[in-house]
Copies of this chain bind each other. A is one copy, B any other.
Amino acid sequence: MRKTAIIGVGCTKVGEFWDKSLRDLAVEASWKALDQAGVSKVDALYVGSALCQLVQNQGNLGALIADSLSLYGVEVLSVEASDASGALALHEACRAVGSGEVNLALAVGVDKPSDASSADASKALMAGVEQEYLAYTGVNVRGLAAFLHRLYRERFKVSHEEVAAMAVNSHLHASNNPYAQYRNRITVEQVMKSPVIADPLRLLEVSSLGDGAAAVLVCPLEEAGKYAGTPIEVAGAASASGDFILTEAEDMLSFKATRLAAEKAYRRAGITIKDVSLAEVHDCADVIGLISLEDLGLAERGEAAGMAASGKLAVGGSLPTNTMGGLKARGNPGGATSLYQIVEICWQLKGEAGANQVSNAKVGVAQSLGGLYSLAAVTVLRRV
- Interface of A with B (CB < 8 Å)? 1, 21, 23, 45, 50, 53-54, 56-64, 66-68, 71-82, 88, 92, 95-96, 98-101, 123, 126-132, 135, 238-245, 256-257, 260, 268, 370-371, 374-375
| A58 engages B127 (CB within 8 Å) | yes
Complex: how many Å from CA A61 to CA B88? 14
**Chain B residues whose C-beta falls within 8 Å of the C-beta of A245 in the assembled complex:** 67
Q: Quickly give the copy total for this chain.
A: 2
Complex: how many Å from CA A54 to CA B371? 17
CB within 8 A of A1: which of B88, B100, B257? B100
| B76 engages A239 (CB within 8 Å) | yes
Given contacts A127-B53, A127-B58, A132-B21, contact A77 B88 (CB under 8 A): yes
Given contacts A50-B59, A92-B92, contact A73 B241 (CB under 8 A): yes
Most chain B CB neighbours (cut-off 10 Å) among A80, A100, A126, A127: A80
**Chain B residues whose C-beta falls within 8 Å of the C-beta of A130 in the assembled complex:** 58, 64
Complex: how many Å from CA A238 to CA B75? 7
Shortest A232–chain B CB gap in Å is 20
**Chain B residues whose C-beta falls within 8 Å of the C-beta of A98 in the assembled complex:** 99, 101
| B244 engages A67 (CB within 8 Å) | yes
**Chain B residues whose C-beta falls within 8 Å of the C-beta of A135 in the assembled complex:** 57
**Chain B residues whose C-beta falls within 8 Å of the C-beta of A101 in the assembled complex:** 1, 95, 98, 268
Chain B: CB-nearest residue to A58? B131
List 8 contacting pairs A-B, 8 Å CB cutoff, sorted by A: A1-B100, A45-B241, A54-B59, A56-B131, A61-B80, A64-B244, A78-B81, A99-B99
| A57 engages B127 (CB within 8 Å) | yes
Q: A53-B127, A68-B244, A76-B375 are in contact. List 14 more A-B contacts (CB 8 A).
A: A53-B53, A56-B131, A57-B123, A60-B81, A60-B82, A60-B371, A60-B375, A63-B241, A63-B374, A73-B257, A77-B92, A79-B80, A95-B95, A99-B99
| B66 engages A241 (CB within 8 Å) | yes
Given contacts A1-B101, A374-B67, contact A81 B96 (CB under 8 A): no
